[in-house]
Chains A and B, each alone.
Chain A
Amino acid sequence: MPKRQNPIQKLFKRMVRNSTRKPEEFSRELQGAPQRKSRVWLKLRRNKSAVTGMIIIACFMIMILFGEQLAPHDPLETDYLNILASPSSENLLGTDYMGRDLFSRLLAGARFSLTVGLISIAIGLTVGMTLGIIAGLNKKADNIIMRFIDILMAFPGLLLSITIVATLGAGLQNVMIAIGISTVPLYARLVRGEVLKVKENDFILAARGLGATNFRLVIHHVLINISAPIIVYSTFRIASAVLAASSLSFLGLGAQPPDPEWGRLINEGRQYMLLAPWLVLAPGFFITLAILGINLFGDGLRDALDPRVGD
């Protein structure tokens, strides 16, 4: 008796025969779950701007983690005999008005400037997403929450963060809270919209029919389906949070002396701009590069995660 093939195997063989692609590619596709992840990764790797962004982000990650160890000098050590020195082999980017090594201060400052972005977005995301999900699922709560969001949206741009910092007082911690709160309305709106969209799907109805609780519905079905747009959006938000935090620090409302936050470095260097332009140029370049890197990565991520974006 000839060996009988099961229909799946038959189909698979026929697909392989009729195609110019290699059999391994099919088996990878048929494996299901891991395939999506690797496809995103493959797309990201092929995307030039995403790769550039990832390299820049990786460099800054190293600075955040090991900045202080990598610094050639103590970022806080003053040397009044060597103030406003030009860039040299001893001080790669020169020294500031107290003789502190600018390069070391920049390396040490990454921790302040960049983690602020991450933490404030974490705050905004948690609160905003919770509000958005509640508003998306519950009609009564929706009205109250969205009116509140409308009020917060009436403060344009930096105004909301500045007002909150003015209320709480200057300091890096308050800046994180302020930027976090000012991103809450954006997240709440985005998540609410996505939840309303997902809610229309039949699988939600099916899950409800199977007796899924609201909590389970949110965690297993809604959250997973709205994660892609939220991840992409968060990347861009982190970039603007870094920008906003450095702006507030530049105004003197964020990091306090002697923390070498980049925005504050620019503010300090401003008075000596004509004598020692590197005091402004170097930190400004670092901030711009960090924001550029995150944005480029975000662009690539959007293209990789969103199948609707063709080109």
Chain B
Amino acid sequence: MLIPVIIGVSILTFLMMHLAPGDPVAVMLPDHATGAEAELIRARLGLDEPLHIQYFTYVRNVISLDFGTSVQTGRRVGAELFARWPTTVDLTIVALSIAILFGIPLGILAALKRASFTDHFSMVFALLGFCLPNFFLALLLQLLFAMHLDWLPVYGRAGPLWTWQGFQSFILPGLSLGLSSAGVLARLTRSNMLEVLQLDYIRTARAKGIWERRIIFKHALKNALIPVTTIIGLQFGFLLGGAFITETVFALPGVGRYAVNAIFARDFPIIQGVTLMMAMVFVLCNLGVDLIYAYLDPRIRYD
């Protein structure tokens, strides 16, 4: 199941350069390049060999973590990717934590106080999170918290996540990326919670005279959150994909911004590397989610 997907992803990313309209070498080179220079690039990229040989070379290189060299700068793409990857992961972790910390409690509150102010507020919040484009939200946050109030840095990465300054520089990007996921999680938690609270075993627990708080946190929440874990896994991928925009707005030196800059320069090895890396991480995340899901929900294990 996993292996064919990984092979398919690698074929698609490999074909990217060949599916691009026009000769890949001509696209990469400036207009005034000579034919000999084009041949040189072609030979260096191995483009003069048959397609399947090229593919196998590509796979062999990727397995040994060699993603080729950047056409623009001539630097190793692999090394650059690994240098930038931590920033993207930090950003995704902050965004996901914000999504979980805001989304799940809001969803629970909304379900417990159905049709109250809290419920309406959290559903409007969820809808807004869904409708606000995250680049617009990012700019709004920059305008308010960085430019007018001057509480947090406007852009850049002041250090790794575990330092105070580094953490500060991740708050606004994390918020702008994570709030839409928070909305999704809030909606889902609310509807699951409402569904579970209607089930018979909750009524039984109530009849037994169990403390209400214990019913909610021990009996209902555990079951309501099982589907939420799946969505958290999917949201992780969604957030990775959103890193392109957030990193560009906040000038964070992650792989997303690296890829966006490479797209304008039509620097294919970089784009291929980033695409492959993100897709692999996403596939592995989904696998992890499936395993956790089976662990959390015994009904699946026994099937």
Select which of B5, B6, B136 is within 8 A of A287 by beta carbon.
B136
Q: Is B147 an interface residue (CB 8 A)?
A: yes
Task: Kindly state the interface size class of chain A when it binds its partner.
Answer: 35 or more
Chain B residues with CB under 8 Å of A266's CB are 135-136, 139
Task: Kindly state the interface size class of chain B when it binds its partner.
Answer: 35 or more
User: Whole-angstrom distance between the alpha carbons of A169 and B263 in the complex?
Assistant: 8
Select which of B139, B264, B282 is within 8 A of A154 by beta carbon.
B282
Whether the pair B5, A163 counts as a contact (CB closer than 8 A) is: no
Select which of A151, A162, A247, A284 is within 8 A of B139 by beta carbon.
A284
Q: How many whole Å from B85's CB to the nearest CB in chain A? A: 15
Q: Is A157 an interface residue (CB 8 A)?
A: yes
User: Whole-angstrom distance between the alpha carbons of A252 and B271 in the complex?
Assistant: 16
Whether the pair B143, A280 counts as a contact (CB closer than 8 A) is: yes
User: Whole-angstrom distance between the alpha carbons of A162 and B270 in the complex?
Assistant: 13
Whether the pair A154, B135 counts as a contact (CB closer than 8 A) is: no
Query: Could you say which of A155, A270, A292 has the most chain B C-beta atoms within 10 Å of its C-beta?
Result: A155
Chain B residues with CB under 8 Å of A168's CB are 20-21
Interface-forming stretch among B164-172, B208-216, B223-231, B238-246?
B238-246
User: Whole-angstrom distance between the alpha carbons of A238 and B254 in the complex?
Assistant: 30
User: Whole-angstrom distance between the alpha carbons of A147 and B136 in the complex?
Assistant: 36
Chain A residues with CB under 8 Å of B139's CB are 266, 270, 273, 280, 284
Chain B residues with CB under 8 Å of A288's CB are 131-133, 136
- In chain B, what residue has the closest Cβ to A163? B275
- Which residues of chain B from 1 to 36 have a CB within 8 Å of any chain A CB? 4-6, 8-9, 12-13, 16, 19-21
Whether the pair B19, A167 counts as a contact (CB closer than 8 A) is: yes
Chain B residues with CB under 8 Å of A287's CB are 133, 136
Whether the pair A274, B244 counts as a contact (CB closer than 8 A) is: no
Q: How many whole Å from B1's CB to the nearest CB in chain A? A: 8
Whether the pair A166, B278 counts as a contact (CB closer than 8 A) is: no
| A-B contact sample (6 more), CB < 8 A, given A155-B282, A251-B248 | A151-B12, A168-B21, A251-B260, A263-B133, A263-B135, A295-B131
Q: Can you list 13 contacts pairing A with B, beta carbon distance less than 8 Å? A: A150-B5, A151-B5, A154-B279, A155-B278, A156-B282, A159-B240, A159-B241, A162-B259, A163-B275, A253-B263, A273-B143, A288-B131, A288-B132
